[in-house]
Every structure is written in structure tokens, then in C-alpha cells.
Amino acid sequence: MKRLWIIVTTVVVLAALGAGIGWYLGVDRLETVRGVVGSEKAPFFADQRVKDAFASHGLRVETDSRGSREMATTVPLDRYDFAFPGSAQAAQRVAQARAATGRFTPFWSPLAVATFTPVADLLAAEGVARRAPEGHWVLDLGKYLDLAKRDVRWDQLKGNVAYPARRDVLVTTTHPGDSNSAGVYAWLALQQLGGGANALDEVVKLFTDQGGLERSTEDPFEKYLAQGLNYTPLVLVYEAQYVDAGRAGTLPANATLLYLSPTTPSAHTVVAFDGAGDEVGRLIANDPELLRLAAEHGFRTADEAATASVLAQVPAGGAALPTKLADIVPAPAPEVVDSLLTTLDQRLRP
Amino acid sequence: MTRISVRRILALSLAALSLVAACDTPAAPQASEGPFKKGSGTLRVLAGSELHDLAPILDDVKAATGVTVELTEIGTLDGIEKVAAGTAVRDHDAIWFSNNRYLELHPEASGRIDVSTKVANSPVVLALRDSKAKELGWDQHRPTWSEIAEAAGAGRFTYGMTNPAASNSGYSALVGVAAALAGTGRALTSAEITSLTPRLQSFFAGQSLTAGSSGWLADEYVRRQAGGVPVDGLVNYESVLLSLNAGGKLKEPLTVVYPADGVVTADYPLTLLSGAAEQARTNYAAVADYLRRPSTQRKIMETTFRRPAVPGVELAKSFGPAGGGLVELPFPARYDDATALVTGFGDSLRKPARTIYVLDVSGSMKGARIKGLQTALLGLSGADSSLSGELTRFNGREQVVMLPFSTTPKTPRRFDLPADNRQPVTDQIRGYVRGLAANGDTAIYDALTRAIELAKQLDAADPNRFTSIVLLTDGERTVGPKLPAFKTYHAKLPAKIKTVPIFTLLFGEGNVTEMTELARISGGRTFDARGGSLAGVFKQIRGYQ
């Protein structure tokens, strides 16, 4: 009996010591760093392995998700050590709103349209989508814009049993005044239409015809994941979001991805406001473990082999996701995007 | 080893033991979901009344995170107004409505709201008593909103729906049916509303029950069924309808009808207000994290019949439609379009209201009380230019009757507002209201009987209106018949007049028991004006008229 007591006490004391040491070495010694990040990066920061990787460098990174454009307009930046918008253009605006101590571009992710194979087939029949030689789906932006301009509805497409809804064929986006993905999409569309006042009207229509718009890119994508075709047949996303969901096993049945043609690279950029923010930026851009995890979450880093092996694991309706993209136009200058988005915001929120 | 460190170790072992013990309580996190985030104190949330059924989940939140979520009920538009004006953050940390779409269109709102977390989904759909659904064939065939509007206009079924100006479910329903009837495939613009008017009027002709909140609508639906004067159906959130079916209070269960051409879906965003304190942000993050855990999402689905917001939580089989999709209809893209739809509803689309105000002008109302009453009525006559004022003012086609009383009922005065150019009539109402003066005794039941006789007479001449009575008194009955005599009279009324709701205000030294009883026997409700302004309460009542 006595021996049993000794054993019990020893076990409890050892367990407590262990817990105490863990507690001493762990949580309480970490420096908390706060960031505001584009919602598409929320799954990356929520990953326990990412938290562990930061913790091994003495950091606990806490993030809030907001639209990349909101960061430069309505987000109180003074409470954060860094911001992490979805493009260099949005980063530029953020740095204008609060002086940056450093900028880091650890990875990028192309814009794409998450959809369903039967819907992609329908669009292919209309000549709007096609298979690239490498096997992945491509959305022909010019032909799509023509369809959108003519107000073609899904129930008017021949042989449509997949989604015979009385709704216009339109990509569901976020609000370009709030969110980077919609802003870049607007710019691509405007380029494709050749610019000018009429083209701008058409771009405005791409948003007003959709109706109410979400503020941050993860919101419509999450509805695509949870509600599937009911929510929308086409949703604008970053490739990384789709890849991340594919690896997490949460893609809806028959999910596939359309790449935009033309497309433009969107460099997700850490804008640091102080030393702690700099440290986070440096780590994400240089720490091999964090870079590996970013690649696992679908972001394209400098390590193309890592990207290739991640992409190969993602189901896309038999269409392998491409490691190299064609038809890339250079990213626009920040001022160009900015003036477009200011105009759009005035037109959409008069 | 010193004594102190031994004590420390003992304390740690106790802590370890209590950790082991904690794992057995329901508040322990699921292994796959990681540790709970922690906060402390209270998260003060302005919320729509339809969020009330989440109370048990909020108890779990408290146990897991240490944060008490305190919901303050507020109507949608009042909420939007408070957020847009920047006053909401003075005494609240977050807002939680069934959706933020209207708010996000508001030009003043974008800087007022911070991070937002979608908690669940629920589409606005139609539900009909099983027998009525069978009779219409809608248990087998999914009708479009056009078919629904046509059948409603032809009197083939009746339904209840909340007022779009007061409640989110009513507004979403209005958006959905308007978008579907327009059938353009695009977001509706105000220019298109005019051409839709006849078909929307047909849809709203079938409405026989209205309310300012989803919860009250559902309760009143149950009461009407129990009282033998059933309404055939309800337009509301799927979650409210499935909850009614599961609640065991219905005599006849509801068949949920998923319109073939689509729905508008609520997504319940818990939204932090800009400028919230650091502790509130911490609390918000802990609460949001808890609400989005798959285990919580599953519990929300199973107990409140809302669909999960996060991927990977499998939808229970009880959610329809069986086979076929549930297309999401577009919300208006601009604030002006969204607002035009609600004002259009009031002035030209809805079944017009007949509103009888029974107003105590006895001696005790002298001074601040009669002034407060005058301000309230002047506000409804167009003097209140705020958003909520604009959406609660007297509408085009409305019939307003003023019946002041003191020692005896005074001569009632009727005002008929035209569809267009309301100004001359609202000017008359204003002039009349300014002339009200307080004097004499309090003959409540004489006046109420007079109001009901008037309702009977007016309804016979013009039956296609929502008739309701508002009773304001600040004291006990002093002359004329008493409540029991009135109840005997009321019990003998024909069904249609007996169900004219009496909305009573709790005010001054008025008799709370009697006011509650009047509301109960007529299917009305009480409104408490003892704490705030009469103007606010009169606006709130508008949602029920």
C-alpha cells in the first residue's frame, strides 16, 4: 500500500514537473507578434506545425484575417507588427498607410477559378474554357468577358443539366475595394477589354451584376467548399486555397480548377512595421521549414520541385495542376491598380 | 529541496490533476481540434432576435473559453443605423445578425466593422402545413417563386412572413422573391422594381400574418394553429421552420418547400466592431475559434438546424431539397437599390395596413408624456429622417385611424394615405397630432370596444388589409367597463376580428397584467416603453403592423 502511494506520488510529481518544464520553456517565453493577413493565408497560420516552427524561434504569431485592400483603408494598422496582403500592389498601399521597416515576398499564387468538372465541360462547349496541352483547364478571359457582356445565363447554355440556373454566367468574386483578388481580376479584365470608358463600364458590370460581394477571398471560397454548386459554379480564388483544400480533403465532389488566361503573378508580401514584424517576414521568406509548410499549403515558393510534388497530390477532376503557367502578363504598377480600384469603389459604393 | 519548491511542486501536481479531471468535462477540446483559445470577461454583442436559440451553444462557449457572450436584441435596421453612426461600439464589441449584406452596402459602414466570422448557413424558404403542401402538389414538385406568387395571389394558400423593414428574414425573403421574379439572372436594381410590382403584389396578397421578429412570428404561427385559425405556411429561415417541426408544438407538421429558382441564404457573421478594446478582440478570437470547430458546427447543426459554415462537416440528411440544387439568388449590389426595395415594399408591394391608434389623453398624460407621444407620432408622419425613420413612417396606401380617449372615447379620425404624394395627408396627421391635449379620466375599455367596432366596420368595407390596434395608456382604467366585461365581449367576436392583434404599451402607471392579457387574447404583444422613448417603441411596433 505504502509503495503504491510512493509510485502514485512519483508519477504525479514527474508529470507535474514535465508539465511545468514544458510550460516554462514553452508558451510563456514566446514573444507575441500580431499580423493582419489576407484570409487566404489563414489556414497556413492556423496550422499547428507553422505555430511550432515560429515557436522554435521564440515567436507566437497571432493573426486576424482581413481583405488585402481593407488593410490600407479601414484596418487599424497600429495594433499590428506586420501585414500580409496578397500582392505587391496591395503591399505598396499598406506601406503608404503605415511606414514599413521591411518587405518580404516569400511566395506567390496565381489567381484561378474554382469550379466543377461538368461546369468546365459546359464552358468548353461554349469555347470559353479549354484544356491546356499539359492537361489542366484554362479559362479564356476574352471569351468569358464576351459571354458576361451579353448577359448569357446558365439556363441558356445548350445541354446544361449540371447547373441550369436562371443566373448569369459570372465568376463570383470578392469586393475589389476590399480584397486583392478581385482587384487583380478587375485589372486583368480591363486590360483584356483594351481599357477606356466602355471597358470600365463592362468591368463595373462584372461586379454589380453579381450583387452583394464578400470582403475577403476565403469567404466565397469557403462557401464553395461547404455549399458546393448551390452557392456558385465559379468562384475566384488563389490556386493555393484550392490546393490547401485538396490536401485537406475538403473539396466538393467533381471539383476542378480553371487557370486564367492571361494571368498575372500575385506576390504575397509581408509588410513589416517593426522589428518583430521583420523577424516574421524574414522567417517566412527564409526558414526552410516554414517555406516547406507554405508549399504544402499550396503557395508557390522558389522551390519548384516542392510545388510540383504538392500539386501532384491535388485532385482536380483528372486535370493535373501545372507547375509552369503560360500566358503570364507582368504585374501592373501599384499606382495603376490603385487608381482603377479607387474608381471602381466610387462606382460600386456611391 | 526547500519547502517552497516542494509546495510549488505540490501546486503543480494539483494543477496537473485538475487538468486530467478537466478532460472528462464537456468543455475539453477534441484532440484533433487543438486547445481552446482563452479570453476573460464578457463579449457584448448586438444581435438579431433569431440568434437567441444559440444560447446553449453560448453556454458551451463560456465553459470552453471563459468568455460570456452577452446578446442584446436589436432589430436589423436599428442595428445597421447604430453601426453606421459609429455609436454601436460605445457599449458593444461585436454584432451578430443573420447576414451583413445590407450593412456592408451602407456607405458609412465599411470603416465601422472589423474582422468577421461566418458561423452557419440557412436559406430563406417557404414551409406549408403538410395537407396544404399535398393539396398544391408541392410535396412532390418544387415550384418556382413565380408559381408561389401566383398561387398566393389566387388565394390558394396563406402565409406569415416578417416585415422586411424590421427583420432580416423578411428582408431576405423579399430580395429572393424579387430577384427570382425579375428572372434576369443579375442583381436587382431599383429601376426594375416598378415592372415587378403586380407580381410582387400578388405574392404579398397571400400574406395573412406579419411580425417584427422571426421568433414572434413562429410563436404566433403555433398559437394560431392551436387556436383553430391556422395560417397555411411561413416564409422564414429553414432553421426556424425545421425547429418548429422538431419542437413538438405544431398540430400539423410543416413541409419545407425549396423554391426551384433559388433562395437567399443567411450566413450569420459574428463581426467585431472597429475600435473594440484589446480584451474584446481577444475574447472575440476565442469565441470565433470555438464556434467554428467542427464539433461545435455539428452541434449547431443538430440543435438549431442551421447548416455548417465550415467545410468537412457533413450535412445531416434532414436538410433538403432531396435531389436538385438550391441556387443562391443575388442580393442587390448597391445601397440605394437595397433600400428602394424596402420602401417599395411598404408603399406599393405589401398588403396595406390599417392601423388604429387608441391613445390615452387623460389628465395624467399632461406634460412630458403627451409631448413624447406627439414626437413619436410626428416621427412616423415623416419628421424622422433617419434610415429607421424612413423605413417605419406611414406608408403609401396605409389607413391610419386616431382614436384618443379620456373620460369617453373621442371622435375617431381616419387618414387614408395615397400611393403617391403622401405629403398632404401626412401634413394633416401632423396637424392633428399637434392638437392633442390631455384632460379627464381613463375609459380604456370603452375606447378599445369603440376601436374594435371601427375595425369591424372598416374591414367589412375593405377586407384586404392588415388591421391592428395599438393601445397606449399610462394608468389604470378609472371609468367605464372593466377588463372581464371586455373579455366577454371580445370572446364573442367573429374570428377575423378576434385575431386583430392589440399591441399594448407598458407605460407610466399602466396596468401591466391587463396590458399583457389584452395582447394575449388578441394575438398581439406588449412593448415596454417604461425605460426608453415612446418614439423608439412606436417604431418597433411598426414592424408588426
Q: Where residue A45 sits, what CATH number does that domain have?
A: 3.40.190.10
Whether residue B78 has pLDDT greater than 90: no
Q: Chain A contact for B478, CB < 8 A?
A: no
Alpha carbons B502 and B514: distance in angstroms, whole number: 12
- Domain co-membership, A84 together with A183: no
Whether residue A167 has pLDDT greater than 90: yes
Q: Mean pLDDT in chain A?
A: 91
Whether residue B421 has pLDDT greater than 90: yes
- Domain co-membership, A260 together with A271: no
**A74 contacts in chain B (CB < 8 Å):** 110-111, 274
- Please give the residue that has the higher pLDDT: either B1 or B79: B79
Whether residue A35 has pLDDT greater than 80: yes
pLDDT of residue A269: 97
Q: Chain A contact for B9, CB < 8 A?
A: yes
SS3 B275: coil
pLDDT of residue B387: 87
| Per-residue CA distances from A334 to A187, A266, A343 (Å) | 11, 12, 14
**A17 contacts in chain B (CB < 8 Å):** 9, 12
Whether residue B18 has pLDDT greater than 50: no
Whether residue B289 has pLDDT greater than 50: yes
| Number of domains comprising chain A | 2
- Domain co-membership, A150 together with A80: no
Query: Average pLDDT for residues B48-70, to the nearest whole number?
Result: 96
Chain A nearest C-alpha distance from B432 (Å): 39
pLDDT of residue B327: 95
Chain A nearest C-alpha distance from B466 (Å): 32
**Nearest Cα to Cα of residue A174 among A19, A38, A45:** A38
| pLDDT, tens digit (0-9, with 9 covering 90-100), for A300-348 | 999 999 999 999 999 888 878 999 999 999 988 888 988 999 999 999 9
- Domain co-membership, A339 together with A201: yes
Whether residue B330 has pLDDT greater than 90: yes
| pLDDT, tens digit (0-9, with 9 covering 90-100), for B426-438 | 999 999 999 999 9
Query: Average pLDDT for residues B352-369, to the nearest whole number?
Result: 96
C-alpha cell at B280: 474584446
* Range ranked top by mean pLDDT from B74-78, B173-177, B210-214: B173-177
**Nearest Cα to Cα of residue A86 among A180, A217, A184:** A180
Query: Average pLDDT for residues A150-171, to the nearest whole number?
Result: 95
pLDDT of residue B2: 39
CB contacts under 8 A, B 238-297 vs A, are 261-262, 265, 267, 274-275, 278, 281, 285
**Nearest Cα to Cα of residue B171 among B391, B382, B468:** B391
| pLDDT, tens digit (0-9, with 9 covering 90-100), for B24-57 | 345 688 888 889 999 999 999 999 988 999 999 9
| pLDDT, tens digit (0-9, with 9 covering 90-100), for B198-246 | 999 999 999 999 999 888 999 999 999 998 889 999 999 999 999 999 9
Whether residue A207 has pLDDT greater than 50: yes
Query: Average pLDDT for residues A111-133, to the nearest whole number?
Result: 96
Q: How many CA atoms lie within 13 A of B521 on its CB side?
A: 17
Query: Average pLDDT for residues B366-374, to the nearest whole number?
Result: 96
Alpha carbons A72 and A88: distance in angstroms, whole number: 13
pLDDT of residue A19: 57
Chain A nearest C-alpha distance from B455 (Å): 42
Q: Mean pLDDT in chain B?
A: 92
- Domain co-membership, A104 together with A116: no
**B183 contacts in chain A (CB < 8 Å):** 166
- Domain co-membership, A219 together with A340: yes
**A229 contacts in chain B (CB < 8 Å):** 325
Whether residue B14 has pLDDT greater than 70: no
Q: Determine contact, residues A166/B259, Cβ cutoff 8 Å.
A: no
Name the pLDDT band for A17 (thresholds 50, 70, 90): low
pLDDT of residue A10: 62
Alpha carbons B142 and A48: distance in angstroms, whole number: 46
> Would residue A20 count as lying in a domain?
no
Residue of A nearest to B34 (CA): A48
- Please give the residue that has the higher pLDDT: either B10 or B49: B49
Of all residues in chain A, the percent with pLDDT exceeding 90 is 81
- Domain co-membership, A261 together with A271: no
- Domain co-membership, A342 together with A194: yes
- Domain co-membership, A214 together with A339: yes
**Residue B383 neighbours by CB distance under 10 Å:** 16
Report the range of poorest mean pLDDT among B296-305, B381-390, B430-439. B381-390
> Would residue A214 count as lying in a domain?
yes
Report the range of poorest mean pLDDT among A31-40, B29-38, B79-88. B29-38
> Would residue A89 count as lying in a domain?
yes
> Would residue A335 count as lying in a domain?
yes
CB contacts under 8 A, B 113-152 vs A, are 114-116, 118, 121
Concatenating the DSSP letter of every residue in A64-122 gives: EE--TTHHHHTS-GGG-SEEE-SSHHHHHHHHHHS--SEEEEEEE--EEEEEEHHHHHH
- Domain co-membership, A34 together with A181: no
Of all residues in chain A, the percent with pLDDT exceeding 70 is 92
Residue range of the domain that includes A228? 111-265+315-348
- Domain co-membership, A93 together with A162: no
A345: phi then psi, degrees, rounded to nearest 5:
-60, -40
The ipTM value here is: 0.88
> Would residue A23 count as lying in a domain?
no
Cα B545 → chain centroid: 12
- Domain co-membership, A73 together with A43: yes
